[in-house]
Amino acid sequence: MAKKKLQIIINGQSIEWDNEKISFEEVVKIAFPSVKDSEIVLYTVTYHDGPKQNPKGNISSWGKIHTGDQMFFTCTSTSQS
Contact 71, 19 (CB under 8 A): no
Contact 79, 16 (CB under 8 A): no
Most confident of 2-6, 13-17, 30-34: 13-17
Among 45, 13, 18, 16, smallest CA distance to 54 is for 45
**Span 14-43, mean pLDDT?**
90
Report whether pLDDT(6) > 70. Answer: yes
Q: How many CA atoms lie within 13 A of 71 on its CB side?
A: 29
Report whether pLDDT(1) > 60. Answer: no
Report whether pLDDT(17) > 90. Answer: yes
Three-state SS sequence of the chain: CCCCCEEEEECCEEEEECCCEEEHHHHHHHHCCCCCCCCCEEEEEEEECCCCCCCCEEECCCCEEECCCCEEEEEEEEECC
Report whether pLDDT(79) > 90. Answer: no
Whole-number pLDDT of residue 81: 59
